[in-house]
Amino acid sequence: MDLHAVNIRRSLGSGSAKLVGAARVQRALWISTSALALCGCGAEPGDNGSGATNGSVDDLRWRHRHASGGVAGTGGAATGGLTGNGGVGGTSSTGGISSTGGASTGGAPSTGGVPNTGGAPSTGGAPSTGGVSTGGASTGGAPSTGGAPSTGGASTGGSSGMRTYSTKFPLTENPISEGGNWINGQTTGIDWHDVSTTPGLAIGHEQGASYTDGTALLTGTWGPNQTAEAVVHSINQKDSCFQEVELRLRSTLSAHVCTGYEISFKATKTSSAYMIIVRWNGPLGNFTILKEADGAQYGVTEGDVVKATIVGNVITAYLNGQQVASVTDDVYTSGSPGMGFNLETSDSTCFGTNGDYGFTSYTATGQ
């Protein structure tokens, strides 16, 4: 990408760019030296507040979300969590891709993934042969008898109006599908990148252009009050790569459009770490940063647990069980949970480091 052309294009966009917070200034030093030298663009310090201007196109001076505004920019997202706990009339699982409830439409067995452990027999539906279980109570078919034990995976369903999906990523897939339960940033959204899995790990595949995060969203209908939680994998941390793990809430993906909320943590424990809550506004590079918190205490490393919730118009971020940020926004009232991963490659040594960070498990709920 021609950095000179990008900066000229940005300067002609909607609104002036402002770098806000220590993290943005630090990012500017990492990825924009050549661009600023070519075009003479300067960074005007701002005030790190809770509101902000809207992001426009991409701003290579401050990665992914800090395009043009105080707490304003664009993001991707991630999600994560725990395993399912059985189903309403479905087959309970001790791991794997299992159901926590919800009505199944009955019929064909699952064809992929690791076999389910069984648990209480299902009252309907064809027996599962492994893979993703998509419901709890079935409307028809022979009862399930269980099967071989599961070693990890995902669950879908819910009870009492609650829907849950949980996975330990048991399959090798690129992009992630787990029986049609996920859509991806490039396969569906075109302008972003996909998420892939190997047993026990999900990673993103962003490279090149900024803001094109590896993104995956859950399919189906989700209630508006949502939770996403994940366990972090992170090794060989390098600040200049801006590796981020992201949780998504009330999000949608279609061709050239990505909307919803992202809660993102930088995978580092240095002073350049940060946590941001972002609203994606649709087109690539159009986003608003709703909240930012900078400092080592907001970064993540191997084994950390990240969580995000949205109830009504309140979005809350957690790290290892402790609330770290909260903000309100009224723009989106529906959508799906999901996950995402950012990688900046202005530093050429960051290419190919996608596998150094990701999620080892993920759970989402909606009600």
Residue-wise pLDDT tens digits, 145-178: 333 334 455 666 666 789 999 999 999 999 999 9
Cα 253 to Cα 266: distance, rounded to the nearest angstrom: 23
Model confidence pLDDT, tens digit, residues 106-116: 333 333 443 33
Tokens of 115: 């076999």
| 286 found inside a domain | yes
Cβ contact 244:363 at 8 Å? no
Q: Do residues 214 and 183 touch, judged by C-beta distance below 8 A?
A: no
Domain count, the chain: 1
Rounded Cα–Cα distance for residues 136 and 157 (Å)? 6
pLDDT at res. 286: 98
d(CA 76, CA 342): 7
Distance of CA 161 to the CA centre of its chain: 24
pLDDT at 309 over 60: yes
pLDDT at position 158, please? 61
Mean pLDDT of the chain: 72
pLDDT at residue number 156: 64
What is the CB-side half-sphere exposure of residue 205 using CA atoms within 13 A? Answer: 16
Beta strands in 12-139 (DSSP E): none
- Of 335, 336, 334, 300, nearest to 317 by C-alpha is 300
Determine the pLDDT at residue 203: 98
Full domain range(s) for residue 225: 168-366
- Domain for residue 360, yes or no? yes
Q: What is the mean pLDDT of the segment spanning 331-339?
A: 98
Is 316 part of a structural domain of the chain?
yes
Residues 6+ apart with CB under 8 A from 274: 21, 23, 265, 266, 292, 293, 294, 295, 298, 299
Instruction: Compare 106 and 247 and report the one with higher pLDDT.
Output: 247
Q: Tell me the CATH number at 258.
A: 2.60.120.560
Residue 239: phi, psi to the nearest 5? -55, -40
Q: Cα-flanking dihedrals φ and ψ of residue 148, to 5°?
A: -70, 150
Q: Which amino acid is at 169?
A: F
DSSP per position, 171-228: S-BSS--TTTTEEETTTTTSSSB-EEEETTEEEE---SSTT--EEEEE-S---SSEEE
Beta strands in 220-313 (DSSP E): 226-234, 244-254, 257-266, 274-282, 287-294, 305-311
The Cα 320–Cα 304 span in angstroms is 6
- 141 belongs to a structural domain: no
Give domain status of residue 102, yes or no.
Answer: no
* Most confident stretch, 90-104, 126-140, 276-290: 276-290
The dihedral built from the CA positions of residue 277, 281, 283 and 287, taken in this order, carries a sign that is negative
- What CA–CA distance (Å, rounded) separates 92 from 100? 7
Tokens of 116: 């389910």
The answer to whether 165 and 135 have CB atoms below 8 angstroms apart is no
What is residue 260's DSSP assignment? E
Q: What pLDDT is recorded for position 252?
A: 98
- Label residue 25 by pLDDT band (50, 70, 90): very low
pLDDT of residue 312: 98
SS3 297: helix
Residue-wise pLDDT for 118-154, tens only, equals: 333 333 333 333 344 444 333 333 333 333 334 455 6
pLDDT recorded at residue 263: 99
Contact 148, 115 (CB under 8 A): yes
Q: Please say whether the beta carbons of 353 and 243 come within 8 A.
A: yes
Using the 8-state DSSP alphabet, how is residue 99 labeled? B
At 62, which amino acid appears?
W
In a domain, 110, yes or no: no
Residue 353 lies in a domain: yes
In a domain, 153, yes or no: no
